[in-house]
Amino acid sequence: MAGTGSSFATLSCVLALALLLAATAAEKETHLRVFWHDVVSGGPNVSTVAQVAEGPSSSASATGFGTVTVIDDPLTDGPNLTSSSSTLVGRAQGVYVSAGRDSLSLMMAMNFVFVDGAYNGSSLAILGANPADRKVREMPVVGGTGAFRFARGYCQATTRWFDANTGDATVEYNLYVRHD
């Protein structure tokens, strides 16, 4: 009797372990690195950034509180947008809102829409606070489509280059996502 009981317990353990492994194997974890480019210079035909609203002058502040900006920014695999060693892998489409009254904080709501490589046709949705003057900003990845169905995770943004005269910027995004 004792022997039957313990072999049943062993079998249960093996089954539970197998189920756990199957569940783990079904979920992937992907690390992606892309470079995000705000292109403000070059005039309206070239710019990938459109400021569509700003706060009333009474709320005007050094943080630009109330400003709403729409972007369709190129995402490349290398840091330099114009270098031939960088390939366009997607677009960052969405908005950022200056949501901090007293400190610089952008509320980012954007989709990374991939147009090349293994993730062509797939997308990731990012929604979070971006205190842009900090070295590293962490934002949630809240979902995805295609290869990234059921995605969740986070990303870390680091400004790599900023031209104070034009407002052009390059930001490195490292994304860590779990998905189906």
Would you state the structure tokens that stand for residue 96, as one six-digit string? 């950022």
Instruction: Choose the binding region for ligand NAG from 4-12, 16-24, 48-56, 75-83 (rule: CB under 6 A).
Output: 75-83
Binding-residue pattern over the window 93 to 122 for ligand NAG, x denoting contact by CB under 6 A: ----------------------xx---xx-
Residue 162: which of 153, 152, 149, 172 has the closest Cα?
A: 172
What is the rounded CA–CA span in Å between residue 87 and residue 78?
Answer: 7
- 146 belongs to the binding site for ligand NAG (CB under 6 A): no
- What is the smallest separation between the CB atom of 42 and ligand NAG, expressed in angstroms? 9
- What is the smallest separation between the CB atom of 148 and ligand NAG, expressed in angstroms? 15
- 165 belongs to the binding site for ligand NAG (CB under 6 A): no
Judged by CB under 6 A, which of 45, 57, 58, 165 binds ligand NAG?
A: 45
- 3 belongs to the binding site for ligand NAG (CB under 6 A): no
H helix or E strand, kind and range, residue 53:
strand 49-53
- What is the smallest separation between the CB atom of 131 and ligand NAG, expressed in angstroms? 24
Q: How many helices (H) and strands (E) does the chain have?
A: 1, 9
The count of other CB atoms within 10 Å of the CB of residue 84 is 7
Amino acid, res. 151: A
Instruction: Choose the binding region for ligand NAG from 12-20, 67-75, 79-87, 100-108 (rule: CB under 6 A).
Output: 79-87
Write the CA distances from 99 to 48, 57, 58, 161, integer angstroms. 21, 15, 15, 23
- 154 belongs to the binding site for ligand NAG (CB under 6 A): no
- 172 belongs to the binding site for ligand NAG (CB under 6 A): no
